[in-house]
Amino acid sequence: MCGIIGCVGREDTLDTLVHGLSKLEYRGYDSAGVALSEAGDDEADGSAESEGSLDVVKCAGKIDDLRTALEGRETSGPVGVGHTRWSTHGPPTDANAHPHVDCTGQVAVVHNGIIENYQALRDELSTAGHEFRSDTDTEVVPHLVEAGLREGLDMEEAVREAIARLEGSYAIAVVVAGEETVFAARNDSPLVLGVDDDATYLASDVPAFRDFTDRVVYLADGEFARLDAAGWTVTDAAGEVVDKDVETVDWDPEETGKSGYDHFMLKEIHEQPRALRQCLRGRVDELGGAVDIGDLGDLSPTGVQFVAAGTSYHAALYAARLFREAGVPAQAFLASEYATGVPPIGDALVVGVTQSGETADTLSAMREASRRGARTLAVTNTVGSTAAREADHTLYIRAGPEIGVAATKTFASQLAALNLLSLATAESGGRDVVAALRDLPGDVQTLLDDSGAAEVAAEFVDAGAYFFIGRGYHYPVALEGALKMKEITYKHAEGFAAGELKHGPLALVTEDTPVFAVVTGDDELATKTVGNVKEVEARDAPVVAVTDGQSDVERYADHVLELPETHRRAASVLANVQLQLVSYHVANELGRSIDKPRNLAKSVTVE
């Protein structure tokens, strides 16, 4: 969940590290630090006695706090690593910030993930005389390396021996005084190399170095990388060289900038028409009413189990309904509950929905499904991610890079991609659905141009709580609307299936509880939801109707957020955009840290 950056071969190493950290701050932002290594006059020989220096600067707070700490410092060195943290072991303090060093201050380590056996290792090292300065699990790593160097191992051997003793998830980068080399390894936590003519980069995500190169190498679990002046080498756990493909990232660095918007989240909300076009491009035959999602083989599932977390779980709930309506048994599971829960159903297809492709809970669920003999499909945004590599099949949502911690355009693209999946494999829908998907980018743009969400947000910015209700495909949207409100406003918000209000939650409804009701069409679902709105109105709660105007829900609403008329499956995407805007504007009115909400991180790589 944290961010790692490393580089070898640049003259402006420190500036490069800090720039990379600023691009990774969405992954963690409660502390940050850098370590730079510089060889001495004589060539470093890899031993503990190598000449040279190691300069470490770190502090609690955001990247700007690190910049302040670096002012006036003559920090130098052609090789370095940096880290921005999302706390797991120990609070965000200067001592707990990465990089962590050994007793001598000659070995520095940055780490993402959780070392599950750190306490046993720490006890062993403490008994051997090592002194610890932090509460973190990470700090055992530099001390393990130090112990290896004391035993006469060379630098690479010492790092390999240290890595071999770790249990858990990790992406680790190590620098040592006197060594103009970065060593790195990964297990269940992402690491990617950036390859340029004169420099090599290491990061937990491509945006960290995308301004410098578009050539990347994705590391797999169990692989070990060495970056030095000669370039880069990847080996396996046994030390055998692994032949890695160098791939090209197909998005522009400008896509990770704000482009004049006040926040990444607002920019990404407004990028949804383009993201949807990218998702649909080449996959929809508008004349024939058919869908082609590429060579996924003959999936023909007799049952589908979706596993996901957070926003992706809401997309999974939506997708499960798509398949059930097509006559295919389907369920959505919280990934964190799946591995110890229900086994795959017969010849079920297990679909992991994960925008990053690195979500630890979802990866564990998919691996458990594979162990049980199920076929797996990853629905993800990230080429080269762990989910994409490990799954039997992959469907990319093509949303482009998303920097804001709260998912927006990736959710819309997930819903579109999952519609394509159901159309292609379960014959769910037909020409009317394909036509609605074709029109969806334009409909979202119309909504963005005319939305009244800012006025609604201003009206209810001081509300004590927010409720969101919907039925059918709109129930997951109600859950997602509440999640967005929680994530970026820090206000209490709940999403419900509309019919469940009267089974308990109605006791919480007051005149200080605005209820956002998603109602589209004029079918039975709409009629029943209007009835639930009347229940709310009778208790003096303000109602905001998110509607296409086909029902008479406006009669019972205090405010209306309009939707273009479309198929009910596409209407859920449109309704979600209105709710995203409401949450954004409430958070903005409250002065919240919208792109970096407290206690959260973009890619959740720990269980």
Q: What is the pLDDT of residue 493?
A: 97
Is a pLDDT exceeding 50 seen at residue 174?
yes
Rounded CA-CA distance 176/54 in Å is 7
578 and 484 Cβ atoms separated by less than 8 Å: no
Q: What is the pLDDT of residues 197-236, one digit of tens each?
A: 989 999 988 889 999 999 999 998 899 999 998 899 999 9
Beta bridge partners of 58: 33
Q: What is the pLDDT of residue 53?
A: 80
18 and 67 Cβ atoms separated by less than 8 Å: yes
Q: What is the pLDDT of residue 217?
A: 94
Is a pLDDT exceeding 50 seen at residue 49?
no
358 and 605 Cβ atoms separated by less than 8 Å: yes
Rounded CA-CA distance 259/257 in Å is 6
Is a pLDDT exceeding 80 seen at residue 77?
no
Lowest mean pLDDT segment, chosen from 131-140, 212-221, 289-298, 582-591? 289-298
Overall residue count recorded for the chain in this entry = 607
183 or 595, which is more confident? 183
Q: What is the pLDDT of residues 383-428, one digit of tens each?
A: 888 899 899 999 999 998 888 889 999 999 999 999 999 998 876 6
Is a pLDDT exceeding 50 seen at residue 105?
yes
- Predicted confidence band at 78 (pLDDT cuts at 50, 70, 90)? confident
70 and 13 Cβ atoms separated by less than 8 Å: no
Q: What is the pLDDT of residues 139-170, one digit of tens each?
A: 999 999 999 999 999 999 999 999 999 998 88
Token look-up 């977390």 returns 309
What strands lie across the sheet with 182-187, from one edge to the other? Answer: 100-101, 107-115, 168-176, 182-187, 224-228, 231-235
Q: What is the pLDDT of residue 588?
A: 96
Q: What is the pLDDT of residue 44?
A: 42
Q: What is the pLDDT of residues 503-543, one digit of tens each?
A: 988 888 888 999 999 999 999 999 999 999 998 888 889 99
Q: What is the pLDDT of residue 46?
A: 44
175 or 383, which is more confident? 175
| Highest-pLDDT range among 109-118, 232-241, 570-579 | 570-579
205 and 77 Cβ atoms separated by less than 8 Å: no
Q: Domains (ranges, CATH) in the chain?
A: 3-249 (3.60.20.10), 255-262+280-439 (3.40.50.10490), 451-607 (3.40.50.10490)
Rounded CA-CA distance 206/91 in Å is 27
Question: Euclidean distance between the first and final Cα of the chain, in Å?
Answer: 11
Tokens of 90: 């120990």
Is a pLDDT exceeding 70 seen at residue 117?
yes
Q: What is the pLDDT of residue 253?
A: 67
Element (H, E) at 81: strand 79-85
Chain mean pLDDT for the chain: 89
103 flagged as catalytic:
no
Q: What is the pLDDT of residue 567?
A: 95
- Predicted confidence band at 378 (pLDDT cuts at 50, 70, 90)? very high
* Active-site hit among 58, 484, 491, 602: 602
Lowest mean pLDDT segment, chosen from 21-25, 450-454, 490-494? 21-25
Q: What is the pLDDT of residue 28?
A: 63
Which residues have C-beta within 8 Å of that of residue 566, sequence separation ≥ 6?
Answer: 436, 439, 440, 443, 548, 574
* Active-site hit among 2, 62, 409, 596: 2
Q: What is the pLDDT of residue 360?
A: 87
Q: What is the pLDDT of residue 214?
A: 92
75: number of Cβ within 10 Å: 18
Which residues have C-beta within 8 Å of that of residue 298, sequence separation ≥ 6?
Answer: none
90: number of Cβ within 10 Å: 16
428 or 100, which is more confident? 100
345 or 211, which is more confident? 211
| Highest-pLDDT range among 330-344, 405-419, 585-599 | 405-419
554 and 427 Cβ atoms separated by less than 8 Å: no
Is a pLDDT exceeding 80 seen at residue 72?
no
Q: What is the pLDDT of residue 525?
A: 93
Q: What is the pLDDT of residue 45?
A: 46
Q: What is the pLDDT of residue 209?
A: 93
534 flagged as catalytic:
no
- Predicted confidence band at 259 (pLDDT cuts at 50, 70, 90)? confident
Is a pLDDT exceeding 70 seen at residue 26?
no
* 3-state helix vs strand vs coil in the chain, percent to 5: 35, 20, 40
Q: Average of pLDDT values for 79-107?
A: 88
